[in-house]
Amino acid sequence: MATTADLRNGLTIEFKNDIYQVIEFQHVKPGKGGAFVRTKLKNVVNGRVLEQTFRSGETIDIVRLEAKKMQFLYIENDYYVFMDQETFEQIHLSEKQIGDDKYFLKEGEIVDVLFHGDTPLSMTLPFFIVYTVVETEPGVRGDTAQGGATKPAKIETGATIQVPLFVEQGDKIRVDTRTRTYMERVKE
């Protein structure tokens, strides 16, 4: 059985019947009283962050998670259907498990699905994805006094991001899915 001495950033533990990842931890030894470990834990399924204090030496349950490459196929009712690239087995994730990534998830995209045993927990998008701009206003010269001006653009998944004025409807752009920002225009 593991104890709080085994806590490390990135470690996954089971706590209060949920699975959490340790974001940060700090061992505290006050002048009076026993030592304790102050932690920040992120729920793997819904992304909520929880601050928790453990007594020094308290037992914790370490959980092993596995990430599998899966292809997003389609949406069925309120579930997102993914297919394992090796076994062709299909799984369903709820909208809650997908979170805000649903706005940047496009059909056919290969993503990482996190499993605890045979149970799928959550999904992670690749860091960079190429999208087609489906709607944006034309950029007008002279709109800015400085460089770096942007305008809203709607991409093929329905999400809206800020892009430079030179980006036009039909252009392919690379988007950083972690920050939801425009990176560059992509030539085919």
The CATH number for 177's domain is 2.40.50.140
Same domain (yes/no): 76, 99: yes
With a CB cutoff of 8 Å and minimum separation 6, the contacts of 92 are 76, 79, 80, 81, 82
pLDDT in tens, the chain (188 residues): 788 888 888 889 999 888 999 999 999 888 888 899 999 998 887 778 999 999 988 999 999 889 899 999 999 988 999 999 889 999 999 888 888 888 899 999 999 998 888 889 888 899 999 999 999 988 766 555 556 788 999 999 999 999 998 889 999 999 999 899 999 999 87
Same domain (yes/no): 73, 37: no
Q: What Å distances lie between residue 115 and 74, 92, 164, 177, CA to CA?
A: 20, 12, 38, 21
What number of H helices and E strands is found in the chain?
Answer: 1, 16
Range of the domain at 147: 128-186
Residue that terminates a domain, selected from 103, 124, 145: 124
